[in-house]
């Protein structure tokens, strides 16, 4: 069975400015055979993507908890959720 599914973000910590790029990566510590990955955000039914990496250009609605799910066809395991925070810079005040 699969175990030790881990998730990390670039930039680290899951804090990213609006409009910037966020790359989430997933790895499995234990698992045999061909692995497949899917990406999920809490509250959404449809997976955001497949593969060991998820590349996002961050928008207003991308805040939330993300998880990676790995399967080898027989067993499935999920990473702990990673909270992504979109940092919105306030508009510059005009003089």
- Per-residue pLDDT tens over the stretch 15-34: 999 999 999 999 999 987 89
Q: Whole-prediction pTM value? A: 0.88
Asked if the model's pLDDT at residue 38 lies above 90, the reply is: yes
Tokens of 88: 């919105």
Segment 69-87, tens digit of pLDDT: 999 988 999 999 999 999 9
Q: Identify the three-state secondary structure at position 13.
A: helix
CB 15 within 8 A of CB 43: no
pLDDT band, residue 91 (cuts 50/70/90): low
How far CA 28 is from CA of 41, 83, 92, in Å, comes to 19, 20, 44
| Residue pair 6/64 in contact by the 8 Å Cβ criterion | no
pLDDT of residue 19: 94
Question: So what CATH class is 3-87?
Answer: mainly beta
Q: Contact, 33 vs 42, CB < 8 A?
A: no
């Amino acid at each position: 069975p699969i175990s030790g599914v881990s998730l990390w973000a670039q930039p680290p910590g899951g804090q990213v400015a609006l409009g910037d790029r966020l790359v989430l990566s997933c790895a499995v510590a234990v698992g045999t055979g061909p692995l497949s990955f899917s990406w999920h955000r809490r509250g959404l039914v449809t997976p955001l993507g497949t593969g060991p990496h998820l590349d996002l250009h961050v928008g207003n609605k991308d805040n939330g908890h993300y998880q990676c799910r790995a399967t080898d066809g027989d067993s499935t395991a999920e990473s702990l959720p990673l909270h992504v925070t979109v940092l919105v810079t306030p508009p510059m005040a005009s003089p």
